[in-house]
Chain A
Amino acid sequence: MTMSINIAINGQKLTVPEGTTILEAAKQIGIEIPTLCHLKDTNEIGVCRVCVVEVKGARNLVPSCITKVTEGMEITTNSPKARKAREMVMNLILATHPKDCLTCDRNGDCELRTLADKMGIRKIDFGAPVKDLPLDDSNPSIIRDSSKCILCRRCVSVCNEVQKVSAIGLINRGIGTTVGTAFDRGLADSPCVFCGQCVSVCPTGALTERFNLREVWQALNDPDKHVVIQTAPAIRVSLGEELGEEPGTIVTGKMVGALRKVGFDKVFDTDFTADLTIMEEGHEFLQRLTEKGKLPLITSCSPGWVKYVETFYPEFLDNVSSCKSPQQMFGAIIKTYYAEKYKIDPAKIYTVSAMPCTAKKFEANRPEMNSSGYRDVDAVLTTRELGLLIKEAGVDWASVEDSQFDQPFGEGTGAGIIFGSSGGVMEAALRTLSEVVTGKELKNLDFKGVRGLEGIKEAEVTLNGQTLRVAVANGLANAKKVLDGLKNKELDYHFVEIMACPGGCIGGGGQPRPSTPDTKQKRMEATYRADKGLPRRKSHENPAVQEIYKEFLKKPLGEKSHHLLHTSYTPRNK
């Protein structure tokens, strides 16, 4: 039973449940206390001290974000002492922070800058020299600018607790404290999986994706280049946030229209290769099931997850599906099948992909991803970069009209769209497997047991009398739990879907900020809405998929598939 606690904030009496923080209680009566390091459930450590308030009888000011109310507590949020302290703490943070806000990646959506404005900071005291620390641009995905780091530790908490990767931690102490990798060697030489969850929570410009917009513009401006773009399932439910829409708005048609205005020769849908993935992976699963191959089969669409398993659990590499991710399948198909079919020199094709993900940049860079004879995917843009591309191109989003994806890869099914949410790949696979195995039409397409933001989901499905146990994990801490369970033989599954990011791609490291549980929920609901609204909701029903097998690939797991659509993995050092 939860007790009720009677408190007073700024003289106003209220009753709140036990366990409520001062911050939450104040919010209930419409008072917003500034916070910076605080991230509910993830980073509740009260270190930045910008949220301090005065509590009657307390020796010092208390951090409102993590101080729980107690009976009879009398809180003053705006006493001169508290206001002065908050202002000075903010000033201390700003004193050594670089002042190049105009050219910062976070110009426009910087939490620090917004907070400084809200707190009425109009002058930065102390005249301290600005931090000048080396940039970590050692890898294709994430750039770390420690000079802009305010040591709020959100990234560290996410990396250590949510993802259990622990690529970054705190180095040195006192004024010399920085966030960095072991021996400060840079992310490239660390176990970082490039999931970008750190980028997603950073309140400043200290963590950003590596910008690939310049290369894309260069290709678009090159008359000799045939520039195609593929857009991932999860960005059609989130791109809108970058352009002023409410979270959860489905902007598929507008996005295609806008990208055409930007100047892409073709705008394709990654849904197509999501469906193709289901064909290949589904058959791989059946093969393993009937030929007593290694089980459980674990999905391979999430490049952050793939690097994680290569680094931390190499003993499971044989369990991971050999299928490339939809992004990479797309790149390989464009530079072979598409090039042949439309008689375009593959050397002149430039493939861009728009992804909710920072790890996709790393994936596109993997040296083995060139089975077409060329680099399969030339440039990867995050959802955020895609939004910026549209803005940079001067496209007036409000007036853009809906448009359709280009053929032959403009056909997608509902199964492909739900790839964007945790559980979606599993659900899509089950839809196809059911019909392939039983030969009968599936009536109820909704496998609700694998849906939702919950970290680990389990379900059982009976196909032709055989019960299949499946599991879905999102967020690497949950992946770790599943793998440890499998290792100890406490868990036993036939098929497992793992996504590196909490919530799946809708919560990817390349998605618009802030990516809160609430916005993730709205994006997730949107993927299922989009699925419901489509005439075709099973991957094997995709006519373009049927056509490519007929014209080019011949059959799932065939020789061409093997060459273009599958890959292998290598163990990596921690």
Chain B
Amino acid sequence: MQIYRGHVLVCAGTGCVSSGSRKVKAEMEKQLEAFKLEQEIKVVETGCHGFCEMGPIVIVYPEGIFYCQVKSEDVKEIVEEHLLKGRPVKRLMFKDRITEEMVPHYNDIDFYKKQNRIVLRNCGFINPENIKEYIARGGYEALAKALTEMTPEQVIEEVKASGLRGRGGGGFPTGLKWGFARAAKGDKKYVICNADEGDPGAFMDRSILEGDPHALIEGMAIAGYAIGADEGYIYVRAEYPLAIKRLKIAIAQAHEMGLLGEDIFRSGFNFKLNIKEGAGAFVCGEETALIASIEGRRGEPRVRPPFPANKGLWGKPSNVNNVETFANVSKIIAKGSQWYASMGTEKSKGTKVFALTGKVKNTGLAEVTMGLTLREIIFDIGGGIINNKKFKAVQIGGPSGGCIPEELLDLPIDYDSLIQAGAMMGSGGLVVMDEDTCMVELARFFLNFTQLESCGKCTPCREGTKIMLDILERITKGEGKEGDIELLQSLAETIKSTALCGLGQTAPNPVLATLRYFRDEYEAHIKEKRCPAGVCSALTSYTILEDKCKGCTACARVCPVQAISGEVKKPHKIDSSKCIRCGACMETCKFSAIIKK
């Protein structure tokens, strides 16, 4: 056996690949050869570490030194200094945002310190294209346990007792769902994985697929055993080519080792998996639309009941869970429901992966125990707001969720607290917004998204979201009318209670949440024709302060539409009718003579 004293982990998640990790890996191999270290140090391609902003990420084991934003030019130094001479390269380490000190170890970085990585336990640590690395981490032990020591009913009971709830949005208890599918009569049943991750900014499912595909496969096989299914489908969007490639490799390896296929662990249980590539419509994340899409029909939801548990794929009982949900299962079976249920809040157990984006310093994926507060996630893990601006709100749950204002920052997050606050867990997108965000514009942005993604099947979603969007557009253009707020409210409530599927029922959430917490901003737009955040261009104007203007002409030169005039060394003026509110003048002015109103 070839033994290596060191492993260099190069992240090959989509984020790092796009920031250049392939080049880094090639250079690493070249340099190791140049220093004759190729027999001592092994290069391992891993999945995502979650800290994508800092990519490409390279971690050197056994010490676990964490390098970030590594460029191929840096590789020689890592090899010569660290791998050969044992002197870790400080300048490539993560620099703490507050202390400004270099943090060599991955576990000491604030971004990771407060995390509790269960679902992401292997992401960034193992080579996802090598099943043995997954097995080395205890992989497939849960499947062995379920198949050889437990009855399907016991598996379901265990999942029920763990308190695991669906991580895709609704938060329906997973064990209960499995129980329905188990109880349904049918000669053939299916397990379906919803990997149609569609919330803008959310990428936890992709990371699991890319970084730890066997965790999903194992979870699905356990689910198959529990409900009595011998076949599964993974519905993954075609925009995730790397995830699909790794999944295919993983499925093939699991088959080769007999972990998928016939008579697994001599238990008589058969299970095979198919991959179905979806075209990436948001609505196909809704389970009935997803099933329609697998069947080759138009991706549209249908009325439930009948639920997929009774009438799913090809009319057969089917169980649909998302990637993150399945990825929890093997740990629950291996370590027991009690262990899992010991984490989290009363009704939300375990952890949740959040995709932290927006105006926050550390963006990326963070897996935290349920019940952590928003403040801990945004300020401790996320490192606070970029440029130390003021926090305004955070949008949780993507376009179907809602925003949560500053006064609720200490809210412990779980499924129920978020619903109460007018947001929802959704798939776990967290978009952080600073003081420069206009909340009306934000609502318009998200509604525009859902409106475009509406399948058009039911009236309220198809017609109603368009009318709501038209109203919001009017308001942001300064054409809001008395009564618009009430009309928005009433439309939102009707759509919520009458739309056919979850997409429609939750589409008004961003509007309802912003109305709840930032009604004054709507009123300012409508009544005072003013955008308090200075975002809505129709409601903003730039003015030159005569007493501060030195007449340097810099602003006039930079203005793309010649809206600024004036003689040299004399105060200039902006012609508001020509101005396109691009803000270039204000950025250029060295004397802070231009203000935005």
Answer whether A and B touch in the complex at a CB cut-off of 8 Å: yes
Task: Give residues in A with beta carbon < 8 Å to B.
Answer: 45-50, 52, 60-61, 63, 66-68, 81, 84-85, 88-89, 92-93, 95-96, 125-126, 128, 151, 169-170, 172-177
A175 lies within 8 A of B498 (CB):
no
Tell whether A92 pairs with B467 under 8 Å between CB atoms, given A49-B498, A60-B498, A174-B462: yes
* Set of chain B residues within 8 Å of A170, measured between Cβ atoms: 298, 456
Contacts of A89 in B (CB 8 A): 459-460, 494, 498
13 A-B pairs in the complex with CB atoms less than 8 angstroms apart? A50-B459, A52-B498, A60-B505, A63-B303, A85-B494, A88-B464, A89-B494, A89-B498, A96-B463, A173-B453, A174-B451, A175-B454, A177-B456
Partner of A85, one of B455, B470, B498, B500: B498
Complex: A47 Cα to B464 Cα, angstroms: 14
User: Would B496 and A175 count as touching, CB distance under 8 A?
Assistant: no
Residues 225-240 of B, flagged 1 when their CB comes within 8 A of A and 0 if not, give 0000000000000000
How distant is B155 from chain A, measured CB to nearest CB, in Å? 29
Tell me the complex Cα distance, A61–B452, Å: 24
Q: Any chain A CB within 8 A of the CB of B302?
A: yes
A175 & B460 in contact (Cβ 8 Å cutoff): no
Complexed CA–CA distance, A46 and B451 (Å): 20
Complex-state Cα separation, A407 to B457, whole angstroms = 55
Determine which residue in B298, B458, B497, B505 has the highest number of CB atoms from chain A within 10 A of its CB, and name it: B497
| Cα distance, A67 to B491, chains bound together (Å) | 24
Cα distance A393–B463 when bound, in Å?
Answer: 42
Q: Is B114 an interface residue (CB 8 A)?
A: no
- List the B side residues contacting A176 at CB < 8 Å: 456
Q: Is the CB of A60 within 8 A of B497?
A: yes
Residues in A with CB closer than 8 Å to B464 are 88, 92
Tell me the complex Cα distance, A93–B470, Å: 16
Contacts of B452 in A (CB 8 A): 174
Give 13 A-B pairs besides A50-B459, A85-B498, A151-B459 with Cβ atoms closer than 8 angstroms.
Answer: A45-B303, A47-B457, A47-B458, A52-B498, A63-B303, A84-B490, A85-B494, A125-B487, A169-B298, A173-B283, A173-B456, A174-B454, A177-B457
Min Cβ gap A499→B in Å is: 29
Q: Which residues of A contact B298 (CB under 8 A)?
A: 169-170
Contact partner of B459 among A49, A81, A169, A173, CB < 8 A?
A: A49
Which A residues touch B455, using CB under 8 A? 173-174, 177
Q: Which residues of B contact A172 (CB under 8 A)?
A: 456
Chain B residues positioned under 8 Å from A45 (CB to CB): 302-303
Q: Are A151 and B498 in contact (CB under 8 A)?
A: no
* A47 contacts B459, C-beta separation under 8 Å: yes
Which residues from A are CB-within-8-Å of B490? 84, 88
Rounded to whole Å, the gap between the CB of B288 and the closest CB of chain A is 12
- Alpha-carbon distance A505/B78, docked complex (angstroms): 85
Is B281 among interface residues, defined by CB-CB distance under 8 A? yes
Q: Is the beta-carbon distance between B303 and A173 smaller than 8 angstroms? A: no
Q: Which 5 A-B pairs have the closest CB atoms?
A: A177-B456, A174-B454, A92-B463, A175-B466, A88-B494
Is the beta-carbon distance between A46 and B500 smaller than 8 angstroms? yes
Q: Complex: how many Å from CA A459 to CA B323? A: 56
Contact with A along B491-532 (1 / 0, CB 8 A): 100101111100001000000000000000000000000000
- DSSP class of B's interface residues: helix, strand, loop or mixed? helix
A274 to B62, alpha carbons, bound, how many Å? Answer: 93
User: Interface residues of B toward A: which range?
Assistant: 20 to 34
Residues of A within 8 A of B463 (CB): 92-93, 95-96, 175
Q: What is the 8 Å Cβ interface bit string for chain B, positions 278-320, against chain A (1 contact, 0 not)?
A: 0001010000000000000010001101000000000000000
Cα A420 to Cα B499 with chains together (Å):
43
Given contacts A46-B303, A60-B497, A81-B497, contact A92 B460 (CB under 8 A): yes
Give Cα A89 to B303, complex, Å: 17
Chain B residues near A63 (CB, 8 Å)? 303
Report Cα–Cα, A68/B310, bound state, in Å: 15
Residues of chain B with a CB closer than 8 A to A52's CB: 497-498
Contact A92/B456 with A81-B497, A128-B467, A175-B451 known, Cβ cut-off 8 Å:
no
B457 touches A85 (CB 8 A): no
Task: List the B residue with the shortest CB-CB distance to A36.
Answer: B459
Give B residues with C-beta under 8 Å from A: 281, 283, 298, 302-303, 305, 451-460, 462-467, 470, 487, 490-491, 494, 496-500, 505
**Contact partner, B500, options A49, A151, A173, Cβ 8 Å:** A49
Closest to B463 in A: A92
Can you name the residue of chain A whose Cβ is closest to the Cβ of B306? A68
What's the least CB distance linking A241 to chain B, in Å? 30
Contacts of A61 in B (CB 8 A): 497-498
Complex Cα distance A92/B234, Å? 37
A96 closest partner in B (C-beta) = B463
Residue contact B494 to A84, C-beta cutoff 8 Å: yes
If A92-B459, A128-B470 touch, does A173 touch B494 (CB 8 Å cutoff)?
Answer: no
Residue numbers in B under 8 Å from A88 (CB-CB): 464, 490-491, 494
* 8 Å CB contact of B462 from A81, A125, A177: A177
Chain A residues in 8 Å Cβ range of B505: 60
Closest residue of A by beta carbon distance from B468: A126
Question: Shortest distance in angstroms between A88's beta carbon and chain B's nearest beta carbon?
Answer: 4
A83 to chain B, nearest CB (A): 11
* A48 CA / B466 CA spacing, docked (Å): 16
**Shortest distance between the CB of A505 and any CB in chain B (Å):** 33
Closest residue of chain A to B457 (Cβ to Cβ) is A47
Structural contact, A151 and B491, CB atoms closer than 8 A: no
Are the CB atoms of A93 and B497 closer together than 8 Å?
no
Residues of chain B within 8 A of A96, CB atoms compared = 463
Q: Which residues of A contact B498 (CB under 8 A)?
A: 49, 52, 60-61, 85, 89
- Is the pair A60, B456 in contact by a Cβ cutoff of 8 Å? no
Q: Which residues of B contact A151 (CB under 8 A)?
A: 456, 459, 462
Task: Give complex CA distance A123, B305 in Å.
Answer: 35
Known contacts A61-B497, A63-B303, A81-B497; is A48 also within 8 Å of B459 by CB?
Answer: yes
Q: Closest residue to A37 on the B side, CB-wise?
A: B459
A169 to B, closest residue via Cβ: B298
Complex: chain B residue closest to A65, CB-CB = B303
A52 CB → nearest B CB, Å: 5
Q: Is the beta-carbon distance between A173 and B454 smaller than 8 angstroms?
A: yes
* Nearest CB of chain A from residue B282's CB, rounded to whole Å: 10
Measured between C-beta atoms, what is the minimum distance from A6 to chain B in Å? 19
Interchain CA distance A85-B493 in the complex, whole Å: 9
Whether B491 pairs with A175 at a CB distance below 8 angstroms is no
Inter-chain CA distance A195–B125, complex, in Å, is 64
**Bound complex: CA A151 to CA B456 (Å):** 9
Chain B's closest residue to A93 (CB) is B459
Closest residue of chain B to A58 (Cβ to Cβ) is B497
Q: Which residue on B lies nearest to A94, using beta carbons?
A: B463
Residue of A48, A66, A68, A128 touching B458 (CB-CB under 8 A)? A48
A176 — nearest CB in chain B belongs to which residue? B456
Nearest residue (CB) in B for A150 is B459
State how many angstroms separate the Cβ of B280 from the closest Cβ of chain A: 13
Assembly CA distance A46 to B470 (angstroms): 26
Q: Find the residue from A47, A60, A151, A177 having the highest chain B CB count within 10 A.
A: A47
Residues in A neighbouring B470, C-beta threshold 8 A: 128
Query: In the complex, A102 Cα to B491 Cα: how many Å?
Result: 30
B197 to chain A, nearest CB (A): 19
Nearest neighbor of A174 in chain B, beta-carbon distance? B454
> Shortest Cβ distance from B327 into chain A, in angstroms?
28
Is the pair A174, B494 in contact by a Cβ cutoff of 8 Å? no
Give every chain A residue within 8 A of B491 (Cβ-Cβ).
88
Residue of A nearest to B471 (CB): A126
A173 touches B460 (CB 8 A): no
For residue B467, which residues in chain A have a CB less than 8 angstroms away from its CB?
A: 92, 95, 126, 128
Q: What residues of B have a CB within 8 angstroms of the CB of A175 in the complex? A: 451, 454, 456, 462-463, 465-466
Q: Nearest Cβ distance between residue A106 and chain B, in whole angstroms?
A: 19
A49 to B505, CA, bound (A): 13
Interface centre among A88, A93, A172 (most CB of B within 10 A): A88
**Closest residue on chain A to residue B456 by CB atoms:** A177
Chain B residues within an 8 Å CB radius of A47? 457-459, 500
B303 contacts A174, C-beta separation under 8 Å: no
Within the complex, the shortest CB–CB distance from A396 to chain B, in Å, comes to 42
